[in-house]
Structure 1
Amino acid sequence: MPLPFVGRRGELAGLRESLAEAAAGHGRLILVGGEAGIGKSTLLRRVASAADGFALAWGHCPGPDETPPYGPWTEIVERLAGTGRGEAEHLPPPFGAAPGHWTLYERAASLGQWLASRGRPLLLIVEDIHWADRGSLDLLRHLAPRLPAWPVLVAATYRTDEIGRRHPLWQLLPELTRSGASRLSLGLLSPEEVTELVAAALPETPATEELARSLYARTAGHPLFVGELLEEAARRGRALLVDEPLPQTLRQALDAKLGRLPDEVRGVLLGAAVIGERFGYDLLARVTEVEEERLAEAVEAAVDSHVIEPVSADGSVFAFTHPLLREALMGGLVGGRRRRWHHRVGQALLQEPAPDPDAVAFHLTRAGDPRAWAYLVAAADRAVELGELQKARAHLEQALGLLGPGSSGRGEVLLKLGNCLLWEAPERAASLWREAEEAARSEPDPAVAVWARHLLVERVLAREPADWRERVESVMAEQAAMLSEPRYRALERDLFGRCLGAPRAGLLLVESLALGGDPETAARQLEQLAGSASADDPDLRESVMLLLLLRGRLDEASALCGKAAREALETRDYRNAVRLKAIQLRLVLIGGAERPDEVDAVAAELQALESQARHRSGYAYLPEGRSLAGVYHYFRGKWQAAWRDVVEAARQEMGTYGAPLAYHGALMLLQAGDVAGARALIDRVPPPRPDAPVPLGNYLLVLPHALRAEVHLAMGEVGPARRWLEAAERWPALGASPFFRAVVRLAWARYYWKTGSGEAAWHAAVEALVDARSVGSSLIAIHAHRLLGELAADRQDLEAASKHFGDALELAHRCRLPFEVALTRLARGRSLGSTPDSREELRAAVELFRQMGAEPAEAMARAALAKWEEAGARHPGAAAASAARLPDRLTPREAEVVALVALGLTDQEIAARLFISRKTVDRHLRNIFNKTRVPNRAALAAYATRHGLAG
Structure 2
Amino acid sequence: MPQWDDRPLVGREAELARLLAVVDRALQGHPSAVLLAGDAGVGKTRLLDELAARAAERGLRVLTGHCVDLGDVGLPYLPFVDLLRAVAAGSGQPGLPELLSGRGAPAVPELPAGDAADLGRPLVRRPVADGGRLQLFESVAALLGELAAQTPLLVVLEDVHWADRSSRDLLRYLLARLSDEPVALVASYRSDDLHRRHPLRPLLAELVRLPLVERLELAPLPDAAVGELVRSLAADVPDRTVEDVVARAEGNAFYAEELLAAGLDGETLPMGLTDVLLARVEQLGEAAQQVLRVAAVAGRRVRHDLVAAVSGLPPVELDAALAEAVHHHLLVVSDDGRYRFRHALLREAVLADLLPGERVRLHATTARYLAGNPGAGTAAELAHHARGSNDLAGAFSASLEAAAEACRAGAPAEQLQHLEAALALWPAVPDAAARAGGDQSALLLDSAAAARTAGEPQRAVALIRSALTLLGPDGDPIERARVHYRLAQALSRVEDQAAAYQESSRAMALVPADPPSPVRTWAAATHARTSWSLGRRAEADAAADEALASADALGLDSAWADTAVSLARMRGGSDPTRWLEEALVRARRSGDTDVEVRVLFNLATVPYEAGDVGAALRRVDEGLARAAELGVEWSYYGAELRHLGVSARYVAGDWDGSLELADRLARVPEMAAHVRAAGLLVQVGRGDPTAAERVVWARGLTGRLDAHVLLELAAAGAEIDLAAWAGDAATAVERVRAAVRHVRTYWDVDRLAVLRLVATALAPVGDAAAAARSQGDEAAVRRWTGVGEELVAQARAAVEDRVRDVGPFGVEAAAWQARVEAEAARLAGRAAPELWRAAVDAFGYGHVYEQARSRWRLAEALLAAGDRAAAAEELRAAAEVAARLGATPLRSAVTALARRGRLDLPGVGRVPAAAAVFTPREAEVLRLLAQGRTNRQIGAELYMSEKTASVHVSRILAKLGAGGRTEAVALAAARGLLTPAPG
Aligned counterparts, 1:837-852, within 5 A: 837-852=870-885
Is the contact between residue 225 and residue 250 of structure 1 (CA under 8 Å) also seen in structure 2?
yes
| CA separation of 1:159 and 1:749: change in aligned 2, threshold 3 A | closer
- Structure 1 position 340 matched with structure 2 position 361: yes
Alpha-carbon separation, structure 2, partners of 1:394 and 1:611: 27
| CA separation of 1:194 and 1:568: change in aligned 2, threshold 3 A | farther
| CA separation of 1:733 and 1:458: change in aligned 2, threshold 3 A | farther
Structure 1 residue 57: Cα displacement: 1.9
Is the contact between residue 283 and residue 348 of structure 1 (CA under 8 Å) also seen in structure 2?
yes
Is the contact between residue 3 and residue 227 of structure 1 (CA under 8 Å) also seen in structure 2?
no
| CA separation of 1:19 and 1:662: change in aligned 2, threshold 3 A | closer
Match of 1:879 in 2: none
- What letter corresponds to residue 82 of structure 2 in structure 1? E
Structure 1 residue 44: Cα displacement: 0.7
Gaps of 5+ in 1: 233-239, 484-500, 759-789, 796-800, 877-951
| CA separation of 1:660 and 1:569: change in aligned 2, threshold 3 A | farther
Is the contact between residue 165 and residue 414 of structure 2 (CA under 8 Å) also seen in structure 1?
yes
- Structure 1 position 263 matched with structure 2 position 286: yes
| CA separation of 1:609 and 1:856: change in aligned 2, threshold 3 A | farther
- Structure 1 position 88 matched with structure 2 position 100: yes
Is the contact between residue 822 and residue 835 of structure 2 (CA under 8 Å) also seen in structure 1?
no
| CA separation of 1:186 and 1:300: change in aligned 2, threshold 3 A | same
Alpha-carbon separation, structure 2, partners of 1:821 and 1:632: 15
Q: 1:54 aligns with which of 51, 54, 60?
A: 60
- What letter corresponds to residue 357 of structure 2 in structure 1? G
Alpha-carbon separation, structure 1, partners of 2:667 and 2:510: 39
Q: Matched residue of 1:56: which SS?
A: strand
Match of 1:781 in 2: none
Structure 1 residue 508: Cα displacement: 0.7
| CA separation of 1:399 and 1:514: change in aligned 2, threshold 3 A | same
Aligned counterparts, 1:331-410, within 5 A: 331-353=352-374, 356-371=378-393, 372-373=395-396, 375-376=398-399
Aligned counterparts, 1:121-136, within 5 A: 121-136=152-167
Gaps of 5+ in 2: 111-126, 433-438, 686-716, 726-731, 766-786, 905-910, 916-983
Q: Matched residue of 1:13: which SS?
A: helix
- What letter corresponds to residue 653 of structure 2 in structure 1? G
Match of 1:834 in 2: 866
Structure 1 residue 136: Cα displacement: 3.5
Alpha-carbon separation, structure 2, partners of 1:308 and 1:457: 55
String of CA shifts for 1:492-537, please: whole Å, max 9, x gaps.
xxxxxxxxx99643431342465543576525623533665775x6
Structure 1 residue 867: Cα displacement: 5.6
- Structure 1 position 17 matched with structure 2 position 33: no
| CA separation of 1:133 and 1:476: change in aligned 2, threshold 3 A | farther
Alignment RMSD (CA, Å): 5.9
- What letter corresponds to residue 88 of structure 1 in structure 2? L
Structure 1 residue 48: Cα displacement: 0.6
- Structure 1 position 100 matched with structure 2 position 133: no
Q: Matched residue of 1:153: which SS?
A: strand
- What letter corresponds to residue 529 of structure 2 in structure 1? E
Is the contact between residue 501 and residue 531 of structure 2 (CA under 8 Å) also seen in structure 1?
no
| CA separation of 1:838 and 1:190: change in aligned 2, threshold 3 A | closer
Structure 1 residue 255: Cα displacement: 3.0
| CA separation of 1:427 and 1:606: change in aligned 2, threshold 3 A | closer
Alpha-carbon separation, structure 1, partners of 2:627 and 2:551: 33
Is the contact between residue 265 and residue 302 of structure 1 (CA under 8 Å) also seen in structure 2?
yes
Match of 1:548 in 2: 568
- Structure 1 position 325 matched with structure 2 position 359: no
Q: Matched residue of 1:156: which SS?
A: strand
Q: 2:529 aligns with which of 485, 490, 511?
A: 511
Alpha-carbon separation, structure 2, partners of 1:193 and 1:610: 57
Is the contact between residue 673 and residue 857 of structure 1 (CA under 8 Å) also seen in structure 2?
no
Q: 1:593 aligns with which of 582, 590, 612?
A: 612
String of CA shifts for 1:888-915, please: whole Å, max 9, x gaps.
xxxxxxxxxxxxxxxxxxxxxxxxxxxx
Is the contact between residue 400 and residue 413 of structure 1 (CA under 8 Å) also seen in structure 2?
yes
- Structure 1 position 689 matched with structure 2 position 742: yes
Greater CA drift, 91-100 or 284-293: 91-100
Q: Matched residue of 2:745: which SS?
A: coil
Alpha-carbon separation, structure 2, partners of 1:589 and 1:854: 23
Alpha-carbon separation, structure 1, partners of 2:482 and 2:289: 51
Match of 1:224 in 2: 254
Structure 1 residue 345: Cα displacement: 2.4
Alpha-carbon separation, structure 2, partners of 1:22 and 1:337: 49
Structure 1 residue 20: Cα displacement: 0.8
Structure 1 residue 552: Cα displacement: 3.7
Structure 1 residue 254: Cα displacement: 3.3
- Structure 1 position 637 matched with structure 2 position 637: no
Alpha-carbon separation, structure 1, partners of 2:850 and 2:251: 70
Match of 1:674 in 2: 721
Structure 1 residue 330: Cα displacement: 1.9
Alpha-carbon separation, structure 2, partners of 1:654 and 1:478: 38
Structure 1 residue 577: Cα displacement: 9.8
Alpha-carbon separation, structure 1, partners of 2:817 and 2:841: 22
- What letter corresponds to residue 788 of structure 2 in structure 1? E
Alpha-carbon separation, structure 1, partners of 2:484 and 2:551: 20
Is the contact between residue 569 and residue 577 of structure 1 (CA under 8 Å) also seen in structure 2?
no
Structure 1 residue 719: Cα displacement: 2.9
Q: 1:248 aligns with which of 266, 271, 289?
A: 271
- Structure 1 position 793 matched with structure 2 position 834: yes
Q: 1:72 aligns with which of 72, 79, 88?
A: 79
Is the contact between residue 561 and residue 587 of structure 2 (CA under 8 Å) also seen in structure 1?
no
- TM-score of the two chains, using structure 1 as the length reference: 0.66
Aligned counterparts, 1:762-777, within 5 A: none
- What letter corresponds to residue 33 of structure 1 in structure 2? A
Alpha-carbon separation, structure 1, partners of 2:445 and 2:635: 31
Alpha-carbon separation, structure 1, partners of 2:516 and 2:590: 34
Match of 2:790 in 1: 719
| CA separation of 1:346 and 1:622: change in aligned 2, threshold 3 A | same
- What letter corresponds to residue 391 of structure 2 in structure 1? D
- What letter corresponds to residue 453 of structure 1 in structure 2? H
String of CA shifts for 1:652-688, please: whole Å, max 9, x gaps.
9774444466568669968999374696999799885
Alpha-carbon separation, structure 2, partners of 1:170 and 1:753: 46
| CA separation of 1:15 and 1:424: change in aligned 2, threshold 3 A | closer
Q: Matched residue of 2:537: which SS?
A: coil
| CA separation of 1:652 and 1:392: change in aligned 2, threshold 3 A | closer
Alpha-carbon separation, structure 2, partners of 1:413 and 1:292: 45
Q: Matched residue of 2:278: which SS?
A: helix
String of CA shifts for 1:122-166, please: whole Å, max 9, x gaps.
322222223233444455456556657653322223334444445
String of CA shifts for 1:50-79, please: whole Å, max 9, x gaps.
213333222222225245233223433444
Match of 1:494 in 2: none
Say how many residue pairs are matched: 790
Is the contact between residue 514 and residue 733 of structure 1 (CA under 8 Å) also seen in structure 2?
no
Match of 2:551 in 1: 529
Is the contact between residue 33 and residue 175 of structure 2 (CA under 8 Å) also seen in structure 1?
yes
Percentage of matched positions with identical amino acids: 24
Alpha-carbon separation, structure 2, partners of 1:421 and 1:635: 34
- What letter corresponds to residue 14 of structure 1 in structure 2? R
- What letter corresponds to residue 650 of structure 2 in structure 1? Y
- What letter corresponds to residue 54 of structure 1 in structure 2? L
Structure 1 residue 40: Cα displacement: 1.8
